[in-house]
Amino acid sequence: MGYPMARNLRSKIPSSDTLYIHDVNPTICEKFAAEFKGVEIAPDVRELAENAQTILTVLPEPRHIENVFADMLRPPTLRTDAPNTQERLFIDCSTIDIKTSREVANATHSTKQGYFVDAPMSGGVVGAAAGQLTFMIGAEQEIVPRVREVLSMMGKRVVHLGPQTSGLKGKLANNYLLALNNIATAEAMNMGVTWGLDAKALADMINTATGKCWPSEVNNPVPGVVENSPASQGYEGGFGTALMLKDLKLAMQAATSAGIIPELGMHAKDIYTAVEGQEELKGKDFSVVYRYLGGKNTDKLQGLGQQ
């Protein structure tokens, strides 16, 4: 998702501004720098932070965030003699646990090296490419306009949910629901196809009725129902099952710490764990749960092949 996000950002910031990029995969950085003007590759995150006024991070897991911010915030403090670095803004768009986000925010603020905002996003790879992401932010009110200005270059909606960690809390609740909706959609579509219904006709009906949800409309798990969806591309791309399982566990952990028992989440976690345990399904988009539940293709639909 980072590549299309950076592309949208570069296209909308002033041409006089420099976009510094860094990734563990140098080939991706080289490709991006060759494609766009006004881009410089930072050899490490510390140098990126030294030169930038606004730093965006998008990383898979809490430990990655901890390591990156440890490098960026290590003594001595970041210099402020470079242009426009007097009030750095750190915007973390990762989906991580609340405790880690709070600790990183405290480290950023206590060392007076800038403002930290949690801003997880929703919309997937398709939303990132189209600049249609939704960002959920946790920040103090006074910096919200500045955060919104930056994130609006990559998304259609920026929702301020409250102080720091509020964005993550909203995202975890959202992804908990998404994880469940995906399984329910896969089961419902499997029912219809098994009963002999046309998969596209069934999906069209659901998407004009009360069962409509993102997995049914945008990321339908039956191959061929939604053109260019992961299911129609052999379940490649999209949002991996491992990441969905990670987010589900984070949501359940946060719920449990608040005295909430996530009843449906317990069973959903077992299903996603089982999907990741099957070699032919591992690493696929999380809609591949349809295949795990026994979902088959029809004569008109193409995907991974008949079971």
Q: What's the CA gap between 300 and 203, in Å, rounded?
A: 15
Expressed in angstroms, the distance from the first to the final Cα of the chain is: 31
CB 271 within 8 A of CB 180: no
Q: Which helix (H) or strand (E) holds 70?
A: helix 62-73
Q: What's the CA gap between 49 and 71, in Å, rounded?
A: 10
Which tokens belong to 178?
Answer: 């998404």
CB 147 within 8 A of CB 125: no
Beta-carbon contacts of residue 186 (< 8 Å; ≥ 6 apart): 215, 221, 287, 289, 290, 293, 295
| Annotated catalytic residue 99 | no
Q: Which of 31, 156, 169, 171 is catalytic?
A: 171
Residues with catalytic function: 171
